[in-house]
Amino acid sequence: MDFGLVLQTDPPASEVVGLMRRAERNGFRYGWTFDSAVLWQEPFVIYSRILEHTDRMIVGPMVTNPGTRTWEVTASTFATLNDMYGNRTVCGIGRGDSAMRVAGRKPNTLARLGEAMEVIRDLAEGREAKVDGQSLRLPWVRDGKLPVWMAAYGPKALAMAGAKADGFILQLADPVLTEWMIRAVRGAAEDAGRDPAAVKICVAAPAYVGDDLAHARDQCRWFGGMVGNHVADLVSKYGAHSDFVPDELTAYIEARQGYDYAHHGRAGNPDTHFVPDEIVDRFCLLGPVEAHIEKLRALRALGVDQFALYNMHDAREATIDAYGSSVIPALTTA
């Protein structure tokens, strides 16, 4: 199993770079960041510094979207980083939640997302693609490689991830839901004539190592609120109780009243009081090292290739170090 670290690009950028360097020293292979231009600093600028100051780390957004940048700009940015540092990027992409809604726009349609994934990958790898009906190619790309990993929850998005993406990003760590979603993605890949095992599976969720479970829950409760934004979209589309989406995912947002993106992805978010302890425990990894190892082994047995650790809480360095000393060795050597 691979491991990734997920950060917000809060200033100073040097702190983001420092945490990514610490993560690489502790065995993390991927460095991910949020991508919302209004809420945080521009991640692609910071990726250049991370790549310069690490040796092997692969960097990318969790997640970008097809609406805040034109597709040729996104592709060229990835391709430039790859040319400078040797194909060490990955494009995590989704419909766009915070990046679009903060700017007063609706998330992109799945159709637009599916088209963008193919165009961005083709351009970044040096192939010709059509953007708004115009055939384009980046003539300077040589031996470019850009895996495109798609974030998804609902049945149509899961089907698209299986049919078109190089990887699937699931932003929660509940084994029951993970099994259901992996089955949907791999089934869609098979239906599309692809090798289901070739689609990488990445589970992303907060992790907090320690014996004070109540404190850990409070530090990670924001995640249930963030996931709730996507779940609310699913409920509006399919209903609160549906044959298409498991109740294990949708039931907990019944008391949800709203969401302020000013607190998005932050410990102490006041808009997450509706998130019960049960959801925090299911969606996150909490407790002593042994509890993390046990849950990660269960996820690995379901087919998860990478765990990406959301590190937005008050024990960032300690969590990175605990994973490096105990958790990562247990999952990469056993």
pLDDT tens, residue by residue, 239-249: 767 767 777 78
The better pLDDT of the pair 263, 90 is held by: 90
**Which element (helix H / strand E) includes 58?**
strand 58-61
Report the pLDDT averaged over residues 40-56.
Answer: 98
Question: The tokens 């692809």 sit on which residue?
Answer: 194
Report the pLDDT averaged over residues 220-229.
Answer: 86
Eight-state DSSP code of residue 308: E
Residue 49 has pLDDT above 90, yes or no: yes
What was the pLDDT predicted at 86? 97
Collect all residues with Cβ–Cβ distance below 8 Å to 273 and sequence separation of at least 6: none
Residue 23 has pLDDT above 70, yes or no: yes
Classified as helix, coil or strand, 184 is helix
pLDDT band at 333 (very low <50, low <70, confident <90, very high): confident
Q: Provide DSSP, 219-277.
A: HHTHHHHHHHHHHHHHHHHH-SS-SSS-HHHHGGGGG-----GGGTT-TT-GGGTT--H
Q: Does the predicted TM-score (pTM) go above 0.85?
A: yes
pLDDT band at 262 (very low <50, low <70, confident <90, very high): low
Residue 207 has pLDDT above 60, yes or no: yes
What was the pLDDT predicted at 4? 98
- Structure tokens of 52? 């310069």
The better pLDDT of the pair 256, 184 is held by: 184
Q: What percent of the chain has pLDDT over 70?
A: 95
The better pLDDT of the pair 232, 150 is held by: 150
List 4's β-bridge partners, or say none.
Answer: 30, 308
Among 223-227, 270-274, 290-294, the range scoring the smallest mean pLDDT is: 270-274
Report the pLDDT averaged over residues 210-232.
Answer: 89
**Parallel, antiparallel, or unpaired for β 134-136 and 129-131?**
antiparallel
**Which element (helix H / strand E) includes 330?**
helix 328-332
The sign one gets for the Cα dihedral 233, 237, 238, 241 is positive
Classified as helix, coil or strand, 104 is coil
